[in-house]
Amino acid sequence: MWFRIIPAVFLAMVVLPGALAAQEDKDRAVEKFKEGVVFYDNKDFEGALKSFEEAWQFNPSWKLLYNIGQCQAALKWYGPAVESFERYLAEGGDAVAQTRRDEVLAELDRLRQMIGDLEVVAEDGLEVYVDGVLRGRTPLPGAIPVAASIVHTVELKKEGEVIYTGSKSVRAGTSAKVVHVEKADDQQVEVVVTSPQADPVATDAAATAAPTSTTIDTTPPPQHEKKRRKITPIPFWVCAGATVAFGATAIAMTAVVGANNDDVGTQSEADRLNAMRGVGIASLFTAIAAGIATGVLIPFTDFKGERHSATNDRPFVSFYGANREGGIVLQGRF
Could you report the per-residue pLDDT of 150-169, keeping only the tens digit for each? 888 899 998 888 988 888 88
Task: Tell me the range of 3-17, 38-52, 106-120 where mean pLDDT is highest.
Answer: 38-52
Confidence of residue 49 (pLDDT cuts 50, 70, 90): very high
Mean per-residue pLDDT, 82-90: 93
Q: For residues 228 and 56, what is the distance between their CA atoms, to the nearest angstrom?
A: 61
Helices (H), the chain: 2-41, 45-58, 64-74, 78-92, 98-112, 200-207, 234-260, 267-297, 306-309
CA distance 19 to 13: 11
Task: Could you list the beta-strand ranges (E) of 144-205.
Answer: 144-147, 152-158, 161-168, 175-182, 188-194
Is 210's pLDDT higher than 50?
no
Residue predicted with more confidence, 70 or 193: 70
24: pLDDT confidence band, cut at 50, 70 and 90?
confident
A 10 A CB-CB count for 71 gives: 25
Q: What is the pLDDT of residue 291?
A: 83
Task: Compute the average pLDDT of residues 206-218.
Answer: 37
113 half-sphere exposure, CB direction, 13 A CA radius: 5
**Residue 215 pLDDT:** 38
**Cα–Cα separations (whole angstroms), residue 67 to 62, 64, 103:** 10, 5, 13
Report yes or no: 82 and 108 within 8 Å, Cβ to Cβ.
yes
Contact 116, 168 (CB under 8 A): no
**Could you report the per-residue pLDDT of 92-142, keeping only the tens digit for each?**
999 999 999 999 999 999 998 888 888 888 888 899 998 888 888 998 888
Contact 145, 117 (CB under 8 A): yes
Higher pLDDT, 264 or 240: 240
Average of per-residue pLDDT across 41-45: 94
CA-closest candidate to residue 122, choices 78, 77, 63, 188: 188
pLDDT in the model for residue 313: 43
Contact 130, 152 (CB under 8 A): yes
